[in-house]
């Protein structure tokens, strides 16, 4: 977790704007205590672009960000027009790459 108040103002401002936008536009899945992996649907380019805006701000502040990839995401727990959440199978291999 990143405390945006600790970031320099020129980095915190775009990060706050991105977070505010997500809070307003993206439904929050009710997953309980499930440890799910989530992703945006490929058709949601604006969501993806905004996520990369947030990633750019975090990287500018010196934080490492990784994108996880898998061919076997697991059992679907939640989906809406914007995103999908799944519980990974036990043998799911999540490969991270820096973004």
79-95 exposure pattern, b = at least 16 Cβ within 10 A, e = fewer: eeeebbbbbbeeeeeee
86: helix, strand or coil: strand
Measured between alpha carbons, how far is 87 from 34 in angstroms, rounded to an integer? 7
User: φ and ψ at 6, to 5 degrees?
Assistant: -90, -5
Mean pLDDT throughout 71-92? 92
Residue 87 pLDDT level (bands cut at 50, 70, 90):
very high
Tell me the whole-structure pTM to 2 decimals.
0.81
Q: What is the pLDDT of residue 61?
A: 84
| Closest C-alpha to 37, from 63, 67, 65, 58 | 67
Mean pLDDT throughout 62-81? 91
Q: What is the pLDDT of residue 1?
A: 65
pLDDT tens-digit map of 12-62: 888 889 889 999 999 999 888 888 999 999 999 999 999 998 898 888 888
């Amino acid at each position: 977790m990143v405390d945006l108040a600790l970031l320099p103002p020129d980095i915190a401002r775009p990060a706050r704007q991105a977070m505010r936008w997500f809070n307003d536009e993206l439904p929050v899945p009710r997953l309980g205590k499930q440890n799910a992996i989530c992703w945006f649907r490929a058709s949601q380019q604006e969501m993806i672009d905004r996520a990369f805006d947030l990633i750019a701000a975090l990287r500018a502040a010196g934080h490492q960000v990784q994108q996880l990839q898998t061919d076997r995401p697991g059992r679907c727990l939640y989906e809406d027009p914007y995103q999908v959440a799944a519980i990974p199978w036990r043998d799911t291999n999540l490969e991270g790459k820096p973004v």
